[in-house]
């Protein structure tokens, strides 16, 4: 067992899901976290998209690691989504994404959370690991692959840079982006209320 498998269960893995866009994929991920942990779908969705506004979480070669910070969350949670058809994700190599390994962490992320994100990136940087994850048929196999010890060489991902530093740098920016999402939602609500009031008048 490694850090990934300690935070991932088979119930959080969906294979060959139909999703036509990043938005639809995030809706599926948000549903997993709501069903398993009671975290509101809207909260998960907004957090993941707030991070995407800072730059795509796609690593290249068909994989991405969307991640978000959730207020009052006590434990780290992981979900895996493998899509039937790859989707556009603004990846550094231009390749569409088929495999998403999604991570939710507490709002005040610790070094342990940063290490976990870097570990996921390292795991997905291995070409053989990616091939297996793209082709296995059961959630049990996915969990087994991600649970393997980290003794294989990393290769094939130019973006397997120092993710810990990248995550640390993004923390304040994500808080700002999340605030912007909430402000825009509030503005839309106020606009709708104003339109309704004008209609009633």
Residues with active-site annotation: 67
Helices (H) then strands (E): counts for the chain: 7, 6
Tell how far CA 19 is from the center of its chain. Answer: 15
Sign, Cα dihedral of 53, 40, 70, 1: negative
Q: Of 161, 167, 174, whose CA–CA distance to 59 is shortest?
A: 161
Token couple for 194: 């104003």
Apex 167 CA angle, 165 and 169, nearest 5: 70
């Amino acid at each position: 067992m490694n850090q990934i498998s300690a935070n991932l269960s088979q119930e959080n893995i969906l294979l060959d899901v139909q999703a036509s866009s990043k938005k639809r994929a995030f809706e599926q991920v948000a549903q997993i976290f709501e069903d398993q942990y009671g975290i509101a779908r809207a909260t998960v969705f907004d957090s993941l998209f707030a991070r995407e506004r800072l730059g795509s979480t796609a690593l290249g070669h068909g994989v991405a690691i969307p991640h978000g910070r959730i207020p009052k969350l006590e434990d780290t949670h992981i979900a895996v989504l493998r899509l039937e058809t790859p989707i556009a994700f603004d990846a550094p190599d231009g390749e569409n994404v088929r495999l998403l390994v999604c991570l939710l962490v507490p709002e005040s992320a610790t070094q342990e959370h940063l290490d976990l994100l870097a570990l996921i990136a390292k795991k997905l940087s291995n070409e053989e690991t990616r091939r297996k994850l793209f082709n296995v048929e059961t959630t049990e196999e996915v969990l087994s692959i991600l649970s393997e010890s980290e003794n294989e060489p990393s290769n094939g991902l130019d973006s397997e840079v120092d993710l810990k530093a990248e995550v640390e740098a993004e923390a304040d920016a994500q808080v700002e982006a999340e605030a912007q999402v909430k402000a825009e939602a509030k503005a839309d609500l106020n606009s709708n209320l104003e339109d309704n009031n004008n209609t009633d008048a």
